[in-house]
Amino acid sequence: MFTYKVGKSLTLLVGLSMLLVACGSPAQKPKASGTVTIMGVVTGKGEEELKKALAPFTEQTGIKVVYEGTNEFATLLPVRVDSGNAPDIAMFPQPGLMADFARDGKLVPIDTFMDKTQLSNAYAQDWLDLATVDSKMYGIWYRAFVKSLVWYSPEAFAAKGYKIPTTWDEMIALSNQIVADGGVPWCLGMENGNATGWVGTDWVEDIMLRTAGPEVYDQWITHKIPFNHPAVKTAFEQFGQIVRNPKYVVGGTTGVISTPFGDSPKGLLDNPPSCYMHHQGSFIAAFFPENVVVGEDVNVFPFPPIKKEVGAPVLVSGEVVAMFNDTPEARKLMEYLATPKPHEIWASFGGYLSPHKQVNLTAYPDDVTKNQADILTKAKVIRFDGSDMMPGAVGTGTFWTGIVDYVGGKDVDSVLKTINESWPQK
């Protein structure tokens, strides 16, 4: 899964705003306040870009948007909801967590006040289905990420005569060649505060799709097969061939666990390179230094297939916006987010892809991002980040911690057994 965040403390102003507009139940309709509050995971540069994308909404409506970015989203939001202090709107990086709140009756179905035709014109059915729980639609997708990518430096590859691998075996052969040449093949960092581990789960999910296929993948994320199924063990161990090989990753396993995910690809840009390849989603471009030209200094190739008969499915993630408090301001903001306008504004900054069908490719600032957007819309097989689709206790809990334990040296069988036993009983 992806959790794009760096960390930010709550301010007194935000806390007071939450108390003024929060309500305990979606059925309650508090008096309009002229303000809508949002909680999400984007911070820093991403937060500033989000505010620019939302600025036209305030200009058009006069409604003030108070945004709160946090690196403790999956932990903080349930506490806030349980205490009756929910934000009006939350930007969920995990649709599984959104579904938990929907089933508990904490969210407002948007198809009760939004035009279904507008939504179907804006999004493909797969995205609408991902925002639907028990036949009711709760969310609007405001951004997506292609995860099945490997970043590299074209200049560094050219200097060594390395060729882009088109299969897993070729990628391992290239890794071995880099080691033989005295280099380190992979940049890999999993540290992200309470969300540490999601980088590793992305690797496992991409490998699972390419070894077991999309049908088994679907069974896995819904627990129709156990988490300690042989197909899952195979994916973990194939990831282990890279992450637990000290010659393959910068800093060995200690470096993997302790290096912040946003810092880890910077070794691609060192001279000479500290590493040559980095498996990460399209969003990582936002973490490159400002002087880096995407498409020249760094570029991408598709995460290669492992089994020919399975091909190369595209793993994606994204963030879906859902509503806790049914206020006129929140309704208007949800309607605004279903239009192309905010998507195109954010797309212009780079490092952003939208699943909105009406966003033109010309909105994207470079050929690499346009290519990723094209991959997103043309992929024959797309599957959403598995940990984001699992129940929160697993997807943002034991799967994250379990992958850290595995990278740290714990045996795979005990890790998978622990995760499997944590799956909520019906």
Q: Looking at 90-139, list the stretches that DSSP marks H as alpha helix, in order from N- to C-terminal side.
A: 95-103, 116-122, 125-130
DSSP structure class, residue 186: B
30: phi > 0 → left, psi -120 to 50 → alpha, else beta; which? beta
Residues ≥6 apart with Cβ < 8 Å to 412: 233, 236, 237, 240, 406
pLDDT at 378: 72
Report yes or no: 103 and 36 within 8 Å, Cβ to Cβ.
Answer: no
Q: What is the pLDDT of residue 127?
A: 85
Cβ-based burial of 76 (10 A; exposed 0-12, middle 13-18, buried ≥19) = middle
| Residue 141 main-chain phi, psi, to 5 deg | -80, 125
Kindly indicate whether the domain formed by 149-312+391-421 is annotated with CATH number 3.40.190.10: yes
Query: Same topology for domains 12-145+317-377 and 149-312+391-421, yes or no?
Result: yes
Name residue 93's amino acid. Answer: P
Distance CA 25, CA 372 (A): 40
| Mean pLDDT, contiguous 10-residue spans, the chain (426 residues) | 35 34 41 81 91 96 96 92 96 88 96 92 86 95 92 97 97 98 98 95 97 96 97 98 98 97 96 97 88 92 94 90 97 96 91 87 88 78 88 92 98 98 91
Please list the helix, strand and coil fractions of the chain in percent, rounded to the nearest 5, in that order. Answer: 45, 15, 40
Instruction: Say what the pLDDT of residue 200 is.
Output: 98
Q: What is the DSSP letter of 69?
A: E
User: What span, in angstroms and rounded, lies between the C-alpha atoms of 277 and 174?
Assistant: 10
pLDDT of residue 33: 53
Please state, in angstroms and rounded to a whole number, the distance separating the CA atoms of residues 363 and 279: 25
Distance CA 360, CA 375 (A): 14
Q: Is residue 226 within 8 Å of residue 420, measured between CB atoms?
A: yes
Delimit the domains of the chain by residue range: 12-145+317-377, 149-312+391-421
The pLDDT value recorded for residue 419 is: 98
Q: Which of 341, 390, 383 is nearest to 227 (CA)?
A: 390
* Chosen CATH of 12-145+317-377 out of 3.40.190.10, 3.40.50.150, 3.40.50.720, 1.20.1250.20: 3.40.190.10
